[in-house]
Amino acid sequence: MNQKPNVWTQVGCGDEGTASFAMDAVCDVPRIPHYLMRALLLVILLAMLAGCGERGHVYRQQAYTFGTIVDITIWGHDEAKAQQAMAAVFADLDRMHRDWHAWEPGPLYDLNQALPSGEWVKIPEPVKPLLRRARALSEKTGWLFDPGIGQLIRLWGFNDQFYNRTEPPLQAEIDAILAKHASMADLEIEDDRVRSRNPAVYLDLGGFAKGFGVDMAIARLKELGVTDAIVNAGGDLRVIGQRGARPWRIGIRHPRGQGIIASLEVAHDESVYTSGDYERFFDYQGRRYHHILDPRTGYPAQGVVAASIIHDSSAAADAASSALVVAGVAGWEAVAKAMGITQAMVIDDTGKIHMTPAMAKRIHFEVSPPPEIILSEAW
Task: Give the footprint of other proteins on this chain (CB under 8 A).
Answer: 3-6, 8, 10, 14-15, 18-19, 22, 33, 35-36, 38-40, 42-44, 47, 51, 58, 62-64, 68-69, 71, 73, 161-164, 230, 232, 234-237, 239, 243, 248-254, 257-260, 263, 272-274, 276, 278-282, 308
Q: Is 120 exposed, middle or buried (0-12, 13-18, 19+ CB in 10 A)?
A: middle
* Residue 377: how many other CB atoms lie within 10 Å: 8
Q: Is 371 exposed, middle or buried (0-12, 13-18, 19+ CB in 10 A)?
A: middle
Dihedrals phi, psi of 102, to nearest 5 degrees = -75, -30
Q: How far is the CB of 250 from other proteins (least distance, A)?
A: 6
Looking at the Cβ atoms of 42 and 334, the one nearer to other proteins is: 42
Dihedrals phi, psi of 276, to nearest 5 degrees = -155, 165
- Neighbouring residues of 179: CB distance < 8 A, sequence distance ≥ 6: none
Looking at the Cβ atoms of 12 and 340, the one nearer to other proteins is: 12
Task: Provide the H-helix boundaries in 179-238.
Answer: 206-223
Q: How far is the CB of 321 from other proteins (least distance, A)?
A: 10
Q: How far is the CB of 257 from other proteins (least distance, A)?
A: 3
What is the distance between the alpha carbons of residues 274 and 210, in angstroms, rounded to a whole number? Answer: 13
Looking at the Cβ atoms of 45 and 136, the one nearer to other proteins is: 45
Looking at the Cβ atoms of 97 and 135, the one nearer to other proteins is: 97
Looking at the Cβ atoms of 18 and 171, the one nearer to other proteins is: 18
Q: How far is the CB of 361 from other proteins (least distance, A)?
A: 17
**Could you give the C-alpha distances from 5 to 69, 75, 87, 236, 333, in angstroms and in order?**
11, 18, 8, 19, 40
Q: How far is the CB of 294 from other proteins (least distance, A)?
A: 20
Q: How far is the CB of 373 from other proteins (least distance, A)?
A: 19
Looking at the Cβ atoms of 253 and 337, the one nearer to other proteins is: 253
Q: How far is the CB of 307 from other proteins (least distance, A)?
A: 12
Helix (H, G, I), strand (E, B) or coil at 67: coil
Give the DSSP H/E element, type plus range, for residue 370.
none
Q: How far is the CB of 62 from other proteins (least distance, A)?
A: 5
Looking at the Cβ atoms of 194 and 266, the one nearer to other proteins is: 266
- Neighbouring residues of 56: CB distance < 8 A, sequence distance ≥ 6: 13, 75, 76, 77, 244
| Nearest partner of 13 among 208, 246, 342, judged by Cα | 246
Length of the chain: 379
Q: How far is the CB of 376 from other proteins (least distance, A)?
A: 21
Looking at the Cβ atoms of 90 and 332, the one nearer to other proteins is: 90
DSSP 223-237: HTT--SEEEEETTEE
Looking at the Cβ atoms of 34 and 378, the one nearer to other proteins is: 34
What is the distance between the alpha carbons of residues 164 and 290, in angstroms, rounded to a whole number? Answer: 11
